């Protein structure tokens, strides 16, 4: 499903920016639109439990490191990065396009989303709309509305 259509259907407004393909936060900083974006910029990590079929989307401020050992302790599971096949199969996206908008493609609600409090409380947030050549900027309250519209388990870190 197209994230823009989904957002419009639930009454969430956004501003779209197009840009060259970016695969990392460092590459995103080189794009002209980077300085135009309001609010917090994030990184999105798609992880899975090493033994089970549990998946996690972790949304952090772009400059905040993720301590995988702390996350493993918090979740009580050993974690590793999910592979590109998992990304395609579950979220319908490719590497470099990971964002909370991929959750609309998770028909079986396999992915739990963990959102850093700084992102959750932000006035504005921005994410790729399942492709890495565009960014959607939306108000924090609209992001929270989007997350709450999903059937995926979510929690704030």
Element (H or E) spanning 124, and its range?
Answer: strand 124-127
Tokens matching residue 69: 């050992």
pTM here is 0.88
The widest CA-to-CA distance across the chain, in whole angstroms, is 42
| Stretch 123-135: mean pLDDT | 89
Give the pLDDT of residue 36. 65
Count of structural domains within the chain: 1
Output the DSSP codes for 102-121.
Answer: GGGG-TT--EEEEE-HHHHT
C-alpha span between 84 and 58 (Å, rounded): 16
Measuring CA to CA, which residue among 83, 62, 47, 46 is closest to residue 126? 62
Residues 13 and 8: their CA atoms lie apart, in Å, by 7
**Per residue in 39-79, pLDDT tens?**
888 889 999 998 878 999 999 998 899 888 999 999 999 99
Q: 131 pLDDT band (50/70/90 cuts)?
A: confident
82-126, pLDDT tens digit by residue? 999 999 999 999 888 899 999 999 999 999 999 999 999 999 999
Instruction: Give the per-residue pLDDT at 27.
Output: 59
- Domain interval for residue 88: 3-156
Model pLDDT, residue 12: 96
pLDDT computed for residue 52 by the predictor:
73
Kindly tell me if the per-residue pLDDT of 152 is higher than 90: yes
CATH number at 38 reads 3.90.960.10
pLDDT, position 34: 55
* pLDDT level of residue 134 (50, 70, 90 thresholds): confident
């Amino acid at each position: 499903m197209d994230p823009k259509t989904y957002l419009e259907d639930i009454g969430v407004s956004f501003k779209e920016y197009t840009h060259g393909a970016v695969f990392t936060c460092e590459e995103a900083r080189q794009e002209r639109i980077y300085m135009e974006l309001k609010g917090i910029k994030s990184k999105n990590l798609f992880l899975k439990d090493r033994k089970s079929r549990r998946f996690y989307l972790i949304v952090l401020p772009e400059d905040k490191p993720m301590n995988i050992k702390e996350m493993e302790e918090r979740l009580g599971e050993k974690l590793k990065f999910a592979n590109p096949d998992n990304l395609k199969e579950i979220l319908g996206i490719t590497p470099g396009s990971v964002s909370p908008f991929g959750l609309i493609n998770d028909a079986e609600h396999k992915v739990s989303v963990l959102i850093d409090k700084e992102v959750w409380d932000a006035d504005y947030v921005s994410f790729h709309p399942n492709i890495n050549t565009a960014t959607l900027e939306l108000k924090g309250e609209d992001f929270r509305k989007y997350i709450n519209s999903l059937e995926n388990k979510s929690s704030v870190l």
